[in-house]
Amino acid sequence: MALRLIRIVIPEQEEQAAKNLLEDQGVKRFWLENAPDGLFVANVLVSSESTESLLDVMEKRFASYTRFQMVILPVEAAFPREIKKPGGATGNGNGEEDGKATAAKKNRGRVHRQELYTDARDVSSLTWNYLIMVLLSSFVAAIGLLRDNVAVVIGAMVIAPLLGPNVSLALAATLGDPDLAKRAIKTLMAGVALAFVLSIGLGLSLHVDAAGREIASRTTVDFIDLVLALAAGVAGALSFNQGTSSALIGVMVAVALLPPLAVCGMLLGSGHTPQALGAFLLFGANTICVNLAGVITFAAQGVRPNTFWEADLAKKYSRYAVEFWILLLCVLAFFLVQSR
């Protein structure tokens, strides 16, 4: 179970109130320390699943203070370790409970929404590093495709700069955050445009064999590809929710966004228009399925804003997003049926 150290900065006159709130939440693994300028810091050690309910309570109580601050830090390990107690409770060996089991159940094994939001903003930032990664990934993918080298193509998949904005877009729909959605769309469109233009240029200047194994395999879409993309999209959202990135590597390979886009551009540049359309449909299918699976998974895991009016709006945004992606998926399925 992942642990988080939460540092809560509060005016010193509220020290007892903070201590009472922590005890009311069933949190015993915390310690207090004085800070300069009339402040004190509560250091709280909890499981990642318990952070959201705790932080919501603390924010509701102390957010009116201008110097109120909460910082979430990952924890590699903590001692003494938790020990299973009779009756199913957990403790640190001294009979102390670590958070409420109901809070962990409510959060369904995910990290706090603010961690998700921060990660989403990071991976959806339109920076020079992002654009360079798109260029590098496009070149690596093009070389692997032209040489029919699957290992090189997988290397381009693992770089996967386009996956981050898609996950961020799904989270933005779930949280009802138009600013994050605009940020993700802007970054995604910039990456897609850059990769597409570069691929067309390579198609115009190089010989592209449309019958090559790696290229030809990305010019057709089947219903099994849609199932694969949906399953991998759910896995990607789950790993993102847990605050771990290791599982995302498998998702990057399973639902590759850039290689089919590179195939589309190169085939279009070399005059193979029908095959280019098939590659574009594969890229579209993966994009649709990643976003649809992401929105559904985030919503199923209880990712929503703290206040009820924001949660109400987020619910509407989520519903609209699901309906939009399902509509696009139906249109894509219609094209697949017609092309058979």
- Which class does domain 3-107 fall in? alpha beta
Answer yes or no: is pLDDT of 64 > 60.
yes
pLDDT category of residue 193 using cuts at 50, 70 and 90:
very high
* Per-residue model confidence (pLDDT) at position 96: 40
Radius of gyration for the chain, computed over Cα atoms and rounded to the nearest angstrom: 24
Q: How far apart are CA 3 and CA 242, in angstroms?
A: 11
Query: Hey, where are the domains in the chain?
Result: 3-107, 113-339
The first and second tokens of residue 14, run together, are 């509220």
Nearest to 219 by CA among 150, 153, 265: 265
The secondary structure of residue 222, as a DSSP letter, is -
* Per-residue model confidence (pLDDT) at position 237: 79
* Per-residue model confidence (pLDDT) at position 265: 94
Q: How many H helices and E strands in the chain? A: 14, 6
Q: How far apart are CA 221 and CA 42, in angstroms?
A: 54
pLDDT digits (tens, 9 = 90+) for 273-291: 999 998 999 999 889 988 9
* Ranges 97-106, 248-257, 330-339: which has the least confidence: 97-106
